[in-house]
Chain A
C-alpha cells in the first residue's frame, strides 16, 4: 500500500512541463472523479513547491462539492492559500461552505467552519456569522471547540461584527461547557480577544470563572491545561488564603509529563506567591518546585534551553531554590553549545563556599575542551568565582595558573584578563604570580588581554624590576595598537614614572609626545594632554590622582532590575522569559522594536559577561564606580571609564599661556552634576573630534537604558576645560562648548 502511495505521490511532483496548467485545467474539468481528484492533488503539489496555481481557482472550487472527504480537504486547503489572490471568486465557495456547516458528519461541519475562518477575505465575513452561531451551539463538542476558535478568527478580522453578533457572550457561556476541550478553547479564544480588545472587558477572570477553569483543568488535554493555567495567571487573588488555595490546586500539575504544563504551573505559583503571607507555605512551594525544574533538563535540547533561561530567571528571584542541585547543571560533553552556555551561567549563580571545590574542578575541565567560545567563558567563570568567594580566590588563582601553563593561546589570554580583575579585588595578594604572567607577554595578541597585562605592570611597577623594559617592549608598536591598549600604555607609563621617576623620565616624555603629536584618536590624545599638564603643574596632585586607591569590585549575579524581573516572572515560559526582555521590546512597532532589541541585547550582553571586564580596567588609577553594573556603556575606544574623585586640584597658571580661555580648573568638582544622564562618558571640549563625539554621545544616551540606581558617576564632576598644552595642535581647536559641558562633559579617560 505504502509503495503504491509513494509512486502515486511522486507522480504529482514529476510533471513540470510547460503547459502543465492547461493539462490540469482539462483534468479538473474531467467527468471522471478519480481524474479530478488526481488533478487537485497535482495542484496542491505544485502549491507546495511554490508554483503559482492561483489561475486554476474557479476549476478547483468547482470540485468542492463532493462527498469525498480527502478531496474536500484538498480543495479547502487550496482555498485558504489562494482566496486572497482571488477575493472576488471566493463567493463561489460560500454556498458550499454554508451547506457543509449543516452536514450530518460533525467532522465536515467542523472542517467547514474552521476553514471559513481561515479565509481572510471580507466577502466571507458577510456569510460566516450564521453558520458560526449554529456551530457554537452544535451538539457535538468537536464542532463546538472548533467554533470557539472560529470566534477568535472573526474577532481578529472584524471586532465590531463579533460584538454585534453577541459572540463574546456565547463564548463566555462556553467556559461553563460540559466538555473540557470546549472550555479550554473558549478560554484560549477569550484570552486572545481580551488582549486585543479596546474595552478590556471581554474576559476578566473572576472567582466564578476561575473555579470553572480549575474544574476543567483536571480533565483537558495537555495543551488545554496550558491555556487554562495561562489565563489563571491573570487572576489576582483577594487575599493570602485564596492564593494558597489556588496554589494547592495547581501544584499537582508539576507532576505532568509535559514540560510546558509544568512551567505554566510554575508561572502561576510564582505570581501567586506574591500574595501569600505564610512563609512556611512559600517554603513548601519552593521545595516542590525544585525537582520538576531539574527534570526539565531531561527534555529535548531546545526545551532544555528554554527551561534553563527560565531557571536562570527564577534563581534570581528566588536564590533559595535549587541550592543543592548544582551538579545537575554540569555540562555533558555532547550538550549543544547553547545549552552549555546557559548551564555555565547557572553554575555560577549557584556557586557558594561549600560547592566551590566541585565547581572549580568542573570549570577547569571545561577550559580544556575544544570549543573556543565555551573555553573562554569557563575561564571567565573561574575569575567570577574568585571575586565572588573570598576564601576560594587562592584556589581559583592556582587553577588559572595551571591553565596559563597549558600555553594554549586563547586560554592564556582569557586567564590574564580575569587575573587582572582578581588583582583589582584583592590588591597586593597575588603579586607572586606576576613573573609567570609576564612570561607570556609575547603570546598576547588580543587588545583586552594586552591591556590587562599592561595595567598589571603599571599597577605593580615598583615591584617589577624590569617594568620599564616591559613597557618599553610594548611601546615599540605603540602607534599600531588598538586605542584601548594605547590608553593603558599611556597610563601605565605615567604610573611607572610616578613610581620610578629616575628610570622612566625619558620614556614618559616620549610617550606623551607621541600621543599628542601623532595620534588622531581624541581620547588617547586628550588623555595624554591631561597627564602632561598634570605632571607639569603639580606632580603631587598627579600622584594623588593616578595612584589613588581603587574601590572594590564585585560580581553581580543578578542581572535584571526588580521591575523588569516582576514583568518577566509574569511571562515565565514565554519568549520574553527566554530573551530576558520585556515583551514590548521585541513586539509591536517594527522600527522601534528592532532598535530596542539591539540596544537591549547590547546592554544584556554586557550585563551578563562583561560586568567585571568593563568597569574595572581603570587606567588613571582614580576611583572607579562603586557598582560596576552601572557601566553599561563603553565606546569603541575601550572599556575603561575611569573618573576622578580626588580632591579638587587648584591649578596653577598653565605653563604656556596661549590659551587663556582654557585655563579653567582642571578638575572642576561640581558635585551637583548628579542630574546628568546615565551616560558615563563625556567629551573633551574643544578638541578636534568634538562634533563627532557629541553625536556619538547623544546616540548612546538614547540607547542607554534608564539607570536602575543612582548613577555613581553623577557626582564625579565635570572637566570643564584645560590649559593649552605646550605643543600647539595643528588644527586649531574650536571653542569648547562649555554649556554642553555642564551637562555631560565628564572626565573621559
Chain B
C-alpha cells in the first residue's frame, strides 16, 4: 500500500501548469493535460466533480486554493487523506513564504518553490513540512549567508518542530483559549446543529528547549475521557486533539499535557463540544413580502448569556433580495448598512450586553417585474460576535509550568474568548402579503 504520489502540479484555473515536480517518473507528465477537461466533463454531467477521480489507470487528486489548482497524480492506491493534507500543507507553507500564494508569487519565486518541493517530498513520500524548520535552511536570500547552511537538527530529531539555540531577551508565553460556536437553526427556530470548536492557541517566545506542562481544571480533564460520572449541568468535551509536540502516550497515561513547544504561534490543542446550550445570540426575523412593490423586515436579537458578560463587535447579516432598492432602516441600537453587492443588510452592534434584546426594522423597494428565472436562493442569516472572558465549556488554565536548563523565569499570559464560528440561522418564509395563500 505504498502511498507515494508520482508528480505534483500547480495549475491556474485554465489548466495551465505553472510549476510541477515529477517525483517518480512513472507517469508521463502529459497526463496533466487531461486533468481540466476531465473535471469540466464531470461538471457538465451535472455531477459535482469529486476532488479525486481515476481515468485510464491514473488517479487525480486535487484541491483549490485561491485561483489555483494543486494537483497530485498517482498510479497507485495512494493514501488519499495523506495526499489531500499534503497538498494543503504545500499551500500553507508557500503562503507562509510568500504571504500570498497566487500565479504571480509562483512565477516570482520558482527557484525556491522547486527547492521546497524537493525538500518536502522525496520519491512521492512527504518529508519535512514544518514551515518554521524549512525556513531555517531554505531561504530566499541564501547567498547572503557567509556560512553555508546545514540541515537543522530539528529536521530529523524527535523534536522535529523546534530548533536549538533560540534566544529571547524577554521570555513570554501567551495562551488564548478560543471557542468558536457553530450553530444552525432552521426556519422554525429549531436548533439543528450546535457545536463548539475550542482551541488552546499559544504564542511562545521562549529561549532554549523549554519543557512545558499545562494544567487544566479537573472538570475538563476528566470529563474528556469519561472517567468520572458526569453530574449536574456539565459539559462533555469530545475528541480532544493535540499538536504533534504533545506526548500523547503520556496524556493517555496520567492526563498531563507535557510538551516542548514549537517557536511562535501554534494550536496546542483543539476540542469539540456537542452541547445543547442556549444559542448565545438569538435572532428572529419576520419578513413581509409585497411582491412587486416592497419587502419589510423586523429583526429581533437577544443576547442569551450572563448579564455580566457582553458581546463585542456583533454583526448580524440579513440576506435580502438581489433586486431590492431604496433601503430604509430603524434600529434601537447600533448602525445598519445595506451592502448591495452581497445582497444583505449588516446590523452592527458595538457592544451587546447579556440578557438584553434589541430590534431593527428594514424596508426595501422591489422592482415591479421579477425575473422568474431567478431561483430564490435562500442563504441564511449569519451572525458574528466575540465574547471576551467567557467560555462555554468552562475550561480554565490552572497552571503552565515552564522549565528550561538555564532556569529563566517566563511570564505566561492567558486570555479567554468565545466567538462565532459557522453561526447561521435560516430565514423564515416570507409572508406573501400581496397574494392569496395558495389553495
Contact, CB under 8 Å: A1 / B140:
yes
Q: How many angstroms between the C-alpha atoms of A142 and B239 in the bound complex?
A: 34
Tell whether, in the assembled complex, residue A258 and residue B111 are in contact, meaning their CB atoms are under 8 Å apart: no
Q: Contact check, B51 vs A301: say whether CB atoms are below 8 A apart.
A: yes
Inter-chain contact B51/A257, CB cutoff 8 Å? no
Would A110 and B151 be within 8 Å (CB), given that A295-B241, A575-B54 are in contact?
yes
Contact B149 A107 (CB under 8 A): yes
Q: A44-B110, A303-B88 are in contact. Are A575 and B242 (CB under 8 A)?
A: no
Evaluate whether A221 and B79 lie within 8 angstroms (CB atoms) in the complex, with A330-B193, A586-B59 already known. no
CA distance A333 to B425 in the complex (A): 11
Nearest to B142 among chain A residues (CB) is A70
Cβ distance A404 to chain B, nearest Cβ, rounded Å: 12
Say whether, besides A117-B123, A223-B129, A258-B85, A1 and B192 are in contact (CB < 8 Å): no
Q: Are B156 and A328 in contact (CB under 8 A)?
A: no
Q: CB distance A405 to B438 under 8 Å? A: yes
Residue from the set B18, B84, B155 with the largest chain A CB neighbour count within 10 Å? B84
Instruction: Using known A-B contacts A152-B123, A226-B79, A327-B193, determine if residue A294 contacts B108 with beta carbons closer than 8 Å.
Output: no
> Is A5 a contact partner of B77 (Cβ separation < 8 A)?
no
Tell whether A181 pairs with B81 under 8 Å between CB atoms, given A252-B248, A574-B3, A594-B56: no
A291-B272, A338-B49 as given contacts; A70 in contact with B122, CB under 8 Å: no
A68 with B155: CB separation less than 8 A: no
In this complex, the interface size class of chain A, counting residues with CB under 8 Å from chain B, is 35 or more
CB atoms of A586 and B54 under 8 A apart: yes
Residue B369 at the A interface, CB < 8 A? Answer: no
Residues of A within 8 A of B110 (CB): 9, 12, 44-45, 48
Within 8 A of A (CB), among B110-153: 110-111, 114-115, 118, 122-123, 125-130, 137, 140-143, 148-151
Which of A373, A578, A590 is the one whose CB lies under 8 Å from B52?
A: A578
Q: Which residues of B contact A325 (CB under 8 A)?
A: 274
| A192 CB, min distance to chain B CBs, angstroms | 4
Q: Would you call A373 and B46 a contact (CB within 8 A)?
A: yes
Instruction: State which of B163-171, B200-208, B371-379, B404-412 sits at the interface with chain A.
Output: B371-379
- The answer to whether B251 and A252 have CB atoms under 8 Å apart is yes
B4 in the interface, Cβ–Cβ < 8 Å?
A: yes
- Among candidates A10, A73, A107, A258, residue contacting B108 with C-beta atoms closer than 8 Å: A10
Within 8 A of B (CB), among A233-254: 233, 249, 251-253
Q: How far is the CA of A258 from the CA of B63 in the complex (A)?
A: 17
Give 1 or 0 for each of B93-114: 1 = CB within 8 Å of chain A CB. Answer: 0000000000000011111001
Given the interface contacts A221-B244, A300-B84, does A332 sit within 8 Å of B108 by beta carbon? Answer: no
Partner of A571, one of B1, B150, B155, B186: B1
Q: Tell me the B37-54 residues at the A interface (CB within 8 Å).
A: 46-52, 54
| Total B residues in contact with A, Cβ cutoff 8 Å | 104
Partner of A69, one of B75, B148, B188: B148
Q: Is B240 an interface residue (CB 8 A)?
A: yes
Q: Does A141 contact B (CB under 8 A)?
A: yes
B78–A260 CB distance below 8 A: no
Task: Tell me the minimal C-beta distance from A112 to chain B in angstroms.
Answer: 12
- CB–CB A230/B79 < 8 A: yes
A587 with B75: CB separation less than 8 A: yes
Q: Which residue of chain A is the closest to B152 with respect to CB atoms?
A: A142
> Which of the listed residues A219, A221, A571 has the most CB atoms from chain B within 10 Å of its own CB?
A221
- Quick check: B156 and A179 within 8 Å, CB to CB? yes
CA distance A319 to B111 in the complex (A): 51
Q: Which 7 A-B residue pairings sit nearest by Cβ, starting from the closest?
A: A337-B48, A291-B239, A141-B156, A260-B81, A252-B248, A583-B77, A223-B126
Q: Could you list 9 examples of A-B contacts with CB < 8 Å?
A: A10-B107, A10-B108, A48-B18, A179-B157, A185-B125, A252-B252, A303-B84, A305-B51, A330-B184
Excluding A578-B50, A578-B80, 10 further A-B contacts by CB distance (< 8 Å) are A44-B114, A74-B114, A218-B247, A257-B267, A365-B187, A369-B378, A373-B48, A573-B81, A587-B77, A593-B57
Q: Hey, which bits of chain B sit against chain A, CB under 8 A?
A: 1-4, 17-19, 22-25, 46-52, 54, 56-57, 59, 61-63, 74-82, 84-88, 107-111, 114-115, 118, 122-123, 125-130, 137, 140-143, 148-151, 155-158, 160, 184, 186-188, 190, 192-193, 195, 197, 238-244, 247-249, 251-252, 267, 270, 272, 274, 375-380, 422, 424, 426, 438
